[in-house]
């Protein structure tokens, strides 16, 4: 039984983590902290958890996180880096669902995230928690940097092509569409129902924080720097990311076979049959990534469609997958929910 703590459980990744951990047979949640909501029963804030989670939010000072086997940070950026050092010192393993440990180049991180990094030495040590590339390193990691939602969908879609060296990595295009829960549970005008409903828009075209994260991952896979144009969009749905990826093929290849081979043994990547179009709802509330690859009109442009649930494979589910790896459990334990459709 893993004793786990959650720091910052009042956002969407927090409540999703609770949904998954409440059903996980090998986890006991010791504490869930929130300075603001301390004392309030979790199920009062999130009635969906009534009968499943009996804890109350507690003040970080009283959470005894150093007695946990594992602490999840479901916090805004910049929090985990302040607390991880001490926890690691106490022998606690850490999974950060925010961005603090994702970018190896600390200067680059500081530029994109607009703050000084409080714990650069753990950045160096931290393992990027995309199991499909780092499985064995994750198993031994003390600190796992859980990938961003866009980076998960985009990297899984591009990886087979980049690793096989069949596309021009200097001109990659990722046109990604996210449901509104990706923006979090914070009250903001642009994510109000009356603003985001019946509406579609791009945002952050000039530069989005997930760009350096994706570039880092694809660069490692390619063995060289990549050129990526990344355009995120907000689409009026709650959950889901759909990434439409474009690249220029540099040689002839059986794309379907390439993708199927790459992900043959991956429990959470499902390569759809030739000609398919994954829908985000086909992964809703599940940890699956569904991918289809196309070569329209037989031209040089390859089109990859990659769909995930941003809160599961793009956040809490991937974190639980990482936990399973870190503690030697079956990878899919607690993660076999059937997607909710319709």
Q: Which is nearer to a copy of itself, 98 or 303 (CB)?
A: 303
Q: How far is the CB of 212 from a copy of itself (least distance, A)?
A: 11
Q: Which helix (H) or strand (E) holds 20?
A: helix 12-22
Pick out residues in 224-263 that bind a copy of itself (CB under 8 A). Answer: 227, 229-231, 233, 235-240, 242, 244, 246, 248
172: which 2 tokens?
């990659």
Min dist CB 47 to a copy of itself, Å, is 4
Q: Which of 58, 68, 149, 289 is catalytic?
A: 149
1 or 194: CB nearest a copy of itself? 194
Q: Which of 1, 36, 140, 187 binds a copy of itself (CB under 8 A)?
A: 187
Q: Which of 171, 225, 261, 330 binds a copy of itself (CB under 8 A)?
A: 171
**Binding residues among 143-162 for a copy of itself as defined by CB under 8 A:** none
Among residues 67, 111, 136, 199, which is the contact residue for a copy of itself, using CB under 8 A?
A: 199
Residue 195 in contact with a copy of itself, rule: CB under 8 A:
yes
> Between residues 209 and 239, which has the closer beta carbon with respect to a copy of itself?
239
**In this chain, which stretch among 71-79, 157-165, 288-296, 321-329 interacts with a copy of itself, using CB under 8 A?**
288-296
Task: Note if 289 is an active site residue.
Answer: no
Residue number with CB closer to a copy of itself (81 or 237): 237
Angle at 30 between CA 25 and CA 33, to 5 degrees: 125
For every residue of 217-237, DSSP letters joined together read HHHHHHTS---EEEEEEE-SS
Distance CA 24, CA 139 (A): 18
Cα-only R_g, the chain: 19
Cis, peptide link before residue 342, omega less than 30° from 0: yes
Stretches 89-97, 151-159, 305-313, 315-323: which one binds a copy of itself (CB under 8 A)? Answer: 305-313
Decide if residue 207 touches a copy of itself (CB under 8 A). yes
Which residue do the tokens 């689409």 mark? 235
Is 321 in contact with 335 (CB distance < 8 Å)?
Answer: yes
The per-residue b/e assignment along 317-340, b for 16 or more CB within 10 angstroms, e otherwise, is bbbbbbbbbbbebebebbbebebe
Q: Residues in contact with a copy of itself, total (CB under 8 A)?
A: 89
In whole angstroms, the minimum distance from the beta carbon of 328 to a copy of itself comes to: 23
Q: Which of residues 16-55 bind a copy of itself (CB under 8 A)?
A: 19, 22-23, 46-52
Give the closest residue to 181 by CA, choosing from 233, 234, 238: 238
Contact call for residue 342 and a copy of itself (CB under 8 A): yes
Q: What is the DSSP string of 259-291?
A: HHHHTTT-TTEEEPPTT----GGGGTTSS-EEE
d(CA 179, CA 312): 13
Instruction: Just list the catalytic residues.
Output: 149
């Amino acid at each position: 039984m893993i004793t786990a703590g959650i720091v910052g459980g009042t956002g969407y990744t927090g409540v999703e983590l609770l949904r998954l951990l409440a059903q996980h047979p090998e986890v006991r949640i010791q504490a869930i902290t929130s300075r603001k909501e301390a004392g309030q029963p979790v199920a009062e804030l999130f009635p969906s958890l009534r009968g499943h989670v009996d804890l109350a939010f507690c003040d970080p000072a009283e959470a005894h996180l150093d007695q946990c086997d594992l602490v999840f940070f479901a916090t805004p950026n910049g929090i985990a880096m302040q607390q991880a050092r001490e926890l690691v010192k106490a022998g606690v393993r850490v999974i950060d669902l925010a961005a603090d440990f994702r970018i190896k180049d600390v200067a680059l991180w500081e530029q994109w995230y607009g703050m000084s990094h409080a714990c650069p030495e753990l950045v160096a040590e931290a393992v990027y928690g995309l199991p499909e590339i780092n499985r064995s390193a994750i198993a031994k990691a003390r600190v796992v940097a859980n990938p961003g939602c866009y980076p998960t969908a985009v990297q899984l879609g591009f990886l087979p092509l980049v690793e096989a060296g069949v596309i021009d990595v200097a001109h990659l295009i990722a046109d990604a569409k996210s449901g509104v829960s990706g923006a979090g549970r914070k009250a903001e005008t642009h994510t109000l129902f009356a603003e985001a409903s019946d509406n579609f828009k791009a945002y952050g075209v000039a530069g989005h924080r997930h760009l350096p994260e994706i570039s880092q991952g694809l660069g490692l896979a390619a063995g060289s720097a990549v050129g990526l144009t990344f355009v995120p969009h907000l689409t009026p749905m709650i959950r889901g990311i759909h990434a439409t990826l474009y690249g220029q093929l540099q040689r002839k290849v059986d794309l379907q076979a390439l993708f199927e081979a790459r992900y043959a043994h991956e429990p959470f990547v499902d390569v759809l049959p030739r000609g398919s179009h994954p829908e985000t709802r086909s992964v809703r509330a599940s940890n699956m990534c569904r991918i289809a690859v196309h070569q329209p009109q037989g031209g040089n442009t390859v089109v990859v469609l990659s769909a995930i649930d941003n809160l599961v494979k793009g956040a809490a589910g991937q974190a639980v997958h990482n936990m399973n790896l870190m503690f030697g459990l079956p990878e899919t334990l607690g993660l076999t929910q059937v997607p909710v459709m319709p």
